[in-house]
Structure 1
Amino acid sequence: MKKASPRLVQPDERGPVLIERRNLKMAASAHAYVRGSTVRFYEWLEQGGRTELPEGPGVWICGDCHVGNLGPIGGADGDLEVQIRDLDQTVIGNPAHDLVRLALSLATAARGSDLPGVTTARMLEAMMAGYEAAFEAGASDDRRDQACAGSEVPAAVRKLMRDAARRSWKHLADERIEGLDPVIPLGRRFWPLQDEERQALEELVASEEVHALVASLRGRDSQAKVSIADSAFWRKGCSSLGNLRFAVLAAIQAAEDRRARYCLLDVKEAITAAAPRYADVAMPRDNAARVVEGARHLSPNLGQRMLATRLLGKGVFVRELLPQDLKIEIERLVQDEAAALARYLATVVGHAHSRQMSIQERKAWLGELQRNRSKRLDAPSWLWRAVVELVASHEAAYLEHCRRYALETRAA
C-alpha cells in the first residue's frame, strides 16, 4: 500500500504547527529539553541561581554551548575541524557561561544514559582539564593544531571525522533534499513559500554579496552564474518558530561546464540573543552581523562561509551547507568514553576562547579557573554547584513540560 503524502503546511499555518513540533521535540528527553531551553538557562542564572560565577575576560562566546552545537565543520579551503557549529546566541560575554552550559549538557546526557553520579563528577573534572589545557603555556593559536593528538580524540569523534571527510554533495543532497534532482521536496521539513518570500529570495541570490559567497568556496569560478533552482520554508529545529528560515537550492553554472552544479543555502533570521553580553564592549547592533562576527572569532571554518544581510526588512545570515558539516550526536553515553568526550569538547571550546585573549588575559583566566578547587573534586566548586542546581531545575521543568504537553495534546 502506497504511503500517503504528508499534508503541506501553508504559510498561515506555520505558527501552531511549529509550536506543536517544538513541544514534541523537547519532550523526547531531558537532554533534548536542555538543548531547547536556552532562555530558561539564562533566566536561572539571572534569577534563581545561587552560585556566583567567575567573571572572565570579555570574548566572543557561543552562548548556547551544548554538545549538539559542536561537530566537524568544513572550511572554504577544504579544511576540516571540530568547531562550534551554532552561533545564534553568540555575544561578547563571560566565557564561564559556555562552561556551565556545556557541563549541564554533558550531565543531562549522562543521566539519560543511566550512568552513575560519580561519572558526572569525573566528566566535569575531565572537562575542566581539557578546557584549561587550551590556556596553558605552549598551547597553539593555530586552529589546525587545536585538535588533540589522535590518541586523545574519543573513538566516536574520530569516526565522525572520518565519515565527514568522505562525504560529498550526493550525501548532503540525499539527506536534505532526498536525492540529486534539483528540487526541494515539500512535506514534513520543507513548506510552501509566500509569493513575496520567493521574490525576496530570488533578489537575494542575484545580489553580488551572495554571488561572492557562493563563488568563493573551494575554488569555484568567480564568473559563474548563480541562480535559484528551488526554495522553501525550512522547519528546522526549534529556531524557526515565528522567524524566517529558508532553504535555497542554488545552481552554479560555469562557462566551461556543460551541467550546473548545485549548493544548498541556509537563510536564517537572526534574533536577539538570550545570552547576556558585557555592558562595556562594542558589538554589532544588527543581530545578523553579530552572529557572523561571533562565528568568525569562534569558528573560523564556519565564519568564512557566512554573510549578514537583510531580507523582508529583517536581519538574516546566509551560509552554504557543506557535506562535511555534522554534529556530535549523543544517543547514549558509554561510561568508559564519557570523560574523554567531555575533555575533548571542552578543549575545542577552550581554544575558541583562548585565541581571542592576550597572554596576560589567558594567565589571569587560568588562575581564576584553578581557584576554589575542593579536596574531593578536581573541578571548581562554582561549576559543580551550578550544575547540581541546574540539573534539578531543568529536571523539574522538563517533567512539567511533558505533563503540560501531554494534556494539551490529549485536549486537542
Structure 2
Amino acid sequence: MARLADVSAPPPGAAAMKFSDRAGYLERVRNRKMAESPHAFVRGSTSLFYEWLQKHDQGLPQGPAIWICGDCHLGNLGALADLEGGVAIQIRDFDQTVIGNPAHDLVRLGLSLASAIRSSDLPGVTTAHMLDNLLAGYIEARAVPSGAAGRSDDLKKLIKRAVRRRWHNLATERFEGSDGALPRNRRFWPLHRGERGKVLSFCHNLNMLALTPDTAHHGKATWKVVDAAYWIKGCSSLGHLRVAALLRGKHHRMALLDVKEATAAAAPAAPHTSMPKNHAERVIAGAKAISPNLGDRMACGLLDGKPVFVRAISPQDMKLEIDSLTGEQTQTIAHHLGAIVGLSHRQQMEDAAWQSWTKDLRRTADAKADAPTWLWASVVDLLASHELAYLDHCRRFALAK
C-alpha cells in the first residue's frame, strides 16, 4: 500500500496554469493531432472504423470468439516488460478490448499500415504486398517464438533499446528528470482541487506489489505518493480522466503510475459472450489474455465514481514509432507484426480451433489475383472512406482556427 506524502498544495507555478475549459481545450488538441497526417487521423478516428464494421462485418471471415485488442494499430504495439524484467513486442492498449472476431484486429492493423504507407509516398503495389505479408505472418504465428519477433530491424532495435533503459531514461523523457515532482507543462496539468485529494487517496490505497516488477525482490514495499497531475496523453481517449502519479519507495526506487478512465468499448463484441460489466475489469481481462506482460501488472478501481485501470510504467515500455517507411522495410514489419497479433490470438485457442481458423484465412490468401481477398477489399474501402473524412476534418479544423 502506498503512503500519502504531504502534497496537498499545488506545486509552484501551478496557479498560472488554470485550464477552466479542460474539455474544450483537449478537444482542440485532439483535432490538431488528427489533422497532422492521414495516418494520425486513422489512429484518432476509431469511431469511423467501427461505423464501417457495422456495415461490412458479415463480409469478413468469422473467427472463434476470443479477446481482441479492438483497436489494433501501429501506435498500440510496442515493447513491454514483464514482472521478471523480460521484454517482448506485444499489443499495449486495451481501451477497446472485447471478446470478438479476430479478423477485426487484422483489418485495423492492415488499415494502419496502409495509411502509414500512403504517408510515406510509397506506390500502391507496396500496400498489396504488405497485406500479403501481414496475413502470412499472422497465419504462421505458431512457427514464430515470441522472442523472435524482433528479427525485423525496426523491432530488433526497439527491443535492444528497451532492454537497456533504466529509470533515469524514463524520468528524463517523461518529466524532465525530476524525482521530486511532476512538471507542469503542456503534458502535465494541475488537478482541480476536488480531484487532487481523490487521486492521492486512490493511489495511497493501491497495492503496489501487484504493479511493480522490482518489489517482489525486496519484500513488502512501502510507497509514498510524491505528486500527481492530469496527463495529456493519447489521442482518441483525450477528454476522459487520465492521471500520472509519481511514487517513491524504499532504496530510492521510483514508480510512475498511469491511471486511466475506462469507458464503454465501441468495438463490436461477439454475440452470446460473457464479459465483465465493469469497463476497467474488462480492460484488464483483455490485457491478461492478449498481452500478459502488461496485463499481469495492472489493477483497477473506482476514482471519483469512475472505473479506472492502473499500470506502473516500466522504463522498458516503449511504443513502436515509425515516421516513414521503405518498401522492403514495410514487408518485414508487416510480417512480424502479423505474427505478434497471431500469437496473441492463438494462445487463446485450442490447436484444432487455430488450425481451422488459419485454414479459412489461407484459403482466402490463395485466391486468384483478379478476385481480391477480404483483407485487401476491406483495407482499400477503409482507406478511401478515411481519406475523405481526413480531408473534411482538416477543412473543418482549419476553418475553426
TM range (shorter): over 0.9
Q: Check whether the contact 2:110–2:379 (CA below 8 A) recurs between aligned residues.
A: yes
Deviation at 1:154, TM superposition (A): 1.4
What is the correspondence of 1:190-229 to structure 2 with a 5 Å cutoff?
A: 190-207=188-205, 209-214=206-211, 217=214, 219-229=216-226
What is the correspondence of 1:49-64 to structure 2 with a 5 Å cutoff?
A: 49=56, 52-64=59-71
Aligned to 1:146: 146
> What residue identity is the alignment partner of 2:115?
T
What percent identity do the matched residue pairs reach?
Answer: 48
Aligned to 2:379: 387
> What residue identity is the alignment partner of 2:45?
S
2:57 & 2:85 partners in 1: Cα distance?
Answer: 46
2:275 & 2:210 partners in 1: Cα distance?
Answer: 23
Say whether 1:352 aligns with 2:349: no
1:35 & 1:61 partners in 2: Cα distance?
Answer: 17
What is the correspondence of 1:278-289 to structure 2 with a 5 Å cutoff?
A: 278-289=270-281
> What residue identity is the alignment partner of 1:317?
F
Q: Check whether the contact 2:209–2:216 (CA below 8 A) recurs between aligned residues.
A: no
Structure 1's unaligned 5+ residue stretches are: none
Within the candidate set 160, 168, 171, 1:170 is matched to 168
**Structure 1 344/13 Cα, relative in aligned 2: closer, same or farther at 3 Å?**
same
Aligned to 1:400: 392
1:289 & 1:146 partners in 2: Cα distance?
Answer: 26
Within the candidate set 77, 83, 94, 2:101 is matched to 94
Deviation at 1:112, TM superposition (A): 0.8
Aligned to 1:252: 249
**Structure 1 355/17 Cα, relative in aligned 2: closer, same or farther at 3 Å?**
same
1:149 & 1:24 partners in 2: Cα distance?
Answer: 34
**Structure 1 365/8 Cα, relative in aligned 2: closer, same or farther at 3 Å?**
farther
Deviations 1:120-163 (A, max 9, x none): 1000111111000025xxx47xxxx323376xx21111111111
Deviation at 1:201, TM superposition (A): 1.9
Q: Check whether the contact 2:231–2:244 (CA below 8 A) recurs between aligned residues.
A: yes
1:198 & 1:250 partners in 2: Cα distance?
Answer: 15
Aligned to 2:40: 32
Say whether 1:105 aligns with 2:112: yes
**Structure 1 149/308 Cα, relative in aligned 2: closer, same or farther at 3 Å?**
closer
Within the candidate set 317, 324, 349, 2:316 is matched to 324
**Structure 1 188/389 Cα, relative in aligned 2: closer, same or farther at 3 Å?**
same
Aligned to 2:256: 264
Say whether 1:376 aligns with 2:360: no
2:326 & 2:215 partners in 1: Cα distance?
Answer: 37
1:350 & 1:172 partners in 2: Cα distance?
Answer: 30
2:360 & 2:353 partners in 1: Cα distance?
Answer: 11
Deviation at 1:371, TM superposition (A): 2.1
2:299 & 2:57 partners in 1: Cα distance?
Answer: 39
Aligned to 2:232: 235
Within the candidate set 301, 308, 312, 1:309 is matched to 301
1:204 & 1:222 partners in 2: Cα distance?
Answer: 22
> What residue identity is the alignment partner of 2:162?
A
Structure 2's unaligned 5+ residue stretches are: 1-12
Deviation at 1:238, TM superposition (A): 2.0
2:213 & 2:134 partners in 1: Cα distance?
Answer: 36
Deviation at 1:375, TM superposition (A): 2.0
Q: Check whether the contact 2:34–2:44 (CA below 8 A) recurs between aligned residues.
A: yes
1:163 & 1:6 partners in 2: Cα distance?
Answer: 34
1:11 & 1:319 partners in 2: Cα distance?
Answer: 26
Q: Check whether the contact 2:257–2:313 (CA below 8 A) recurs between aligned residues.
A: yes
Secondary structure, counterpart of 2:322 in structure 1: coil
Deviation at 1:51, TM superposition (A): 7.0
Q: What is the aligned length?
A: 388
1:61 & 1:101 partners in 2: Cα distance?
Answer: 11
**Structure 1 341/381 Cα, relative in aligned 2: closer, same or farther at 3 Å?**
same
Deviation at 1:206, TM superposition (A): 2.0
Aligned to 1:362: 354
Say whether 1:85 aligns with 2:92: yes
Q: Check whether the contact 2:82–2:213 (CA below 8 A) recurs between aligned residues.
A: no
Deviation at 1:198, TM superposition (A): 1.6
Secondary structure, counterpart of 1:319 in structure 2: strand
Aligned to 1:23: 31
